[in-house]
Amino acid sequence: MNQLRSPIAAVLPLLLALTVRADADQAPAKGPNIVLIYADDLGWGDVGFNGRKEWTTPHLDRLGAQGTIFRRFYTAAVVCAPSRGAMLTGKSTIHDGVSRNDDDLPAGEVTLAEALKDRGYSTALFGKWHRGTPRKGVEAVHPMDQGFEEFFGFTDARHAWEQFPDELYEGRRRRPVSGYANDMFTDRAVDYLKRHKDGPFFLYLPYIATHFYIEAPADEVALHKGKLPEADPEKPLNATYAAMVTRLDRNVGRVLAALDDLKLADGTIVVFTSDHGATFESGNQGTSNALDSNRPFRGQKRTLWEGGIRVPGVVRWPGHVPSGVVSDEVIQMTDLFPTLLAAVGSKPDPAWKVDGLDVLPAWLGKGHVPDRTLFWEWRNEGGNQLAAMRGKYKLVITNNGQPELFDVEGDPGERRNAIAEHADLAKQLRAGLKSWLATETRD
């Protein structure tokens, strides 16, 4: 005799199946992991994939071969704090409250770490957080107040050039340390990857190479001694600068190896860039100048010529970003915020008023960056410079107020002022700068 079943019992398996299917459809897909590696004062011409021959950067070159090299990758500012503020908020220096090196990122600004944390990402920063000088009555902002769950490194810019520090912050407390700072940051990064291999995670690695103090581990310096010209052979400063770059490359290689070993490489976006161009200032002791770190460009840190604003740029995301490609798409640091959010299936809240563009189609090789005009300003520490760029033409207004117009594709060294031939374009770019500056917001 067949057992009778109630109508509910008969349809229960189907209802359960539909419920499971609905839950699966509504569950957010796990987004890619993100590793953002940020060098400090590294020139465009300091890396092998941009033509450096005096030393090798095999791990960075491998990263470039496995991803896309962006030859026109631009910072948003020409000193440390503003460049970091613009990258982390996706906003230009006149909109995020950080246009000077001593500005502190306002607590109300939303960072990339906060945006990703809200989307289920673990977040960590190992390296340099450039704390400015907080205004009277306003507490200085700590990275753990702006989305980073783990922090190890420098908070104060006055110490963030110490290659062999005695103390570093771990979380909110200082503790004694010993060793080479960039090695220690990498140690933490590798450990973090092991602990968070199930992801998704956002790992921000702002190294301090090659910033200010020209120091590197002795074993790395020994690899370059006698291979570079030196003003004083007893003080192998150029060899030491080269060692800072190759040690940076070695540390990047350790991070890439950890991703490989943990089988995370295919599901991880890796971005490598620098905060701005190399400096020729006194703390650098002449090394970047002697070694032509910003080759083939004119200028340096604290200038708006290409040597100050064009930086190394690589993006790797296997199976998504084309490998072995060199792109001339124009990318600015403010674009990282909306583009990385797009890669994880999200976008900035309109209330954040992000200036950067989602350029993911250009990263994926499926589209181009829309035509636009990019703007820069440096009006501090005696500087009074402005720049606007549309396509291949860039207008630079120098400290003396003189406008210069350059074709940065045909004349990357910015030697030939083309303003006479393109007076109307120069006038349009200057008007654009005026309109842009009129939108400045500061507390």
Residues 208 and 272 in one domain: yes
Residues 415 and 288 in one domain: no
5 occurs within a structural domain: no
Residues 207 and 145 in one domain: yes
Single out the residue in 345, 369, 393 at which a domain terminates. 369
Residues 195 and 314 in one domain: yes
Q: How many domains does the chain have?
A: 2
Q: What is the pLDDT of residue 135?
A: 64
Quick one: which of 243, 323, 232, 313 has its CA closest to 272? 313
8 occurs within a structural domain: no
Single out the residue in 369, 402, 421 at which a domain terminates. 369
Residues 329 and 235 in one domain: yes
Averaged pLDDT for residues 90-115: 95
The helix/strand/coil state of 116 is helix
CATH number at residue 411: 3.30.1120.10
pLDDT tier, 211 (very low <50, low <70, confident <90, very high otherwise)? very high
pLDDT tier, 12 (very low <50, low <70, confident <90, very high otherwise)? very low
Q: Residue 132 corresponds to which tokens in the numbers above?
A: 């400015």
Q: What is the pLDDT of residue 427?
A: 97
Residues 410 and 298 in one domain: no
Range of 433's domain?
Answer: 377-437
214 occurs within a structural domain: yes
Residues 357 and 419 in one domain: no
Residues 316 and 383 in one domain: no
pLDDT tier, 40 (very low <50, low <70, confident <90, very high otherwise)? very high
Quick one: which of 135, 129, 132, 180 has its CA closest to 151? 129
pLDDT tier, 159 (very low <50, low <70, confident <90, very high otherwise)? confident
Q: What is the pLDDT of residue 24?
A: 32
pLDDT higher than threshold 50 for residue 441: yes
362 occurs within a structural domain: yes
Segment 290-316, tens digit of pLDDT: 999 999 999 999 999 999 999 999 999
Inter-residue contact 311 to 42 (CB < 8 Å) = yes
- 388 vs 394: CA distance, rounded Å: 6
Beta bridge partners of 389: 374, 394
DSSP character string of 356-389: S---HHHHTTSS-PPP-EEEEEE-STT--EEEEE
Q: What is the pLDDT of residue 19?
A: 36
Residues 236 and 304 in one domain: yes
437 contacts: CB under 8 Å, gap ≥ 6: 94, 377, 386
Single out the residue in 321, 348, 369 at which a domain terminates. 369
CATH number at residue 189: 3.40.720.10
Q: What is the pLDDT of residue 136?
A: 62
- 41 vs 433: CA distance, rounded Å: 26
Residues 229 and 191 in one domain: yes
Quick one: which of 333, 312, 390, 309 has its CA closest to 70? 312
259 occurs within a structural domain: yes
The helix/strand/coil state of 149 is coil
Residues 50 and 171 in one domain: yes
- Of the CA atoms within 13 Å of residue 214, those in its CB half-sphere come to 20
Q: What is the pLDDT of residue 140?
A: 73
10 occurs within a structural domain: no
pLDDT higher than threshold 90 for residue 5: no
442 occurs within a structural domain: no
pLDDT tier, 319 (very low <50, low <70, confident <90, very high otherwise)? very high
3 occurs within a structural domain: no
Q: What is the pLDDT of residue 160?
A: 87
Residues 321 and 208 in one domain: yes
Inter-residue contact 304 to 76 (CB < 8 Å) = no
Q: What is the pLDDT of residue 23?
A: 33
pLDDT averaged over every residue in the chain: 92
